[in-house]
Amino acid sequence: MTTNQAQAPPTDRSFRVVRRLAMGGFGVVYQAEMFGPHGFRQMVVIKVARSDLAEHQQEAEHRLRDEARILGRLHHPNIVSTFGLVQLEVGWAVMLEWVEGDSVEALLKSGRCPPRAALELIGEVADALTHAHEQTEAGVALGFIHRDVKPSNI
């Protein structure tokens, strides 16, 4: 995948997909390596609208743009950072921070999550969800709600 210069601000970024991480109802998530000028390289996550849902393409892209807009407002150690929206050859994509490690789903399946660690993890997730829900604009709580909290998303 490469950026589409006509739709995005001028950039020298390009991407190499490393592997597909997940596929959801409207999006596909990839681990990718981002390349920039002067040898810059960074591992990122790219979430794109599913191309096989042509009849729902506009809705999928709208959801991606909303997700990027919301994530861009949230700054918390337990919430993945976003690098914003990028127009790729395959359509709009949200570029996210790559976080090394297993998902909670993988930990649960492997049996490597002792009860004390699980309780700490639940507390950290609750803290992040509270932060998102209490995010304010001009002193008014926006009430963001994560509608897909599950072990594979943590």
148 counts as catalytic: yes
Give the tokens for residue 154: 């943590």
Query: In angstroms, rounded to a whole number, what is the distance separating the alpha carbons of residues 88 and 4?
Result: 5
CA atoms within 13 A on the CB side of 10: 1
**Which one-letter DSSP state was computed for residue 38?**
G
Give the tokens for residue 70: 């919301």
Q: Which of 52, 102, 127, 148 is catalytic?
A: 148
Please state the φ and ψ torsions of residue 97, each to the nearest 5 degrees: -65, 135
Query: In angstroms, rounded to a whole number, what is the distance separating the alpha carbons of residues 129 and 63?
Result: 19
Catalytic positions are 148
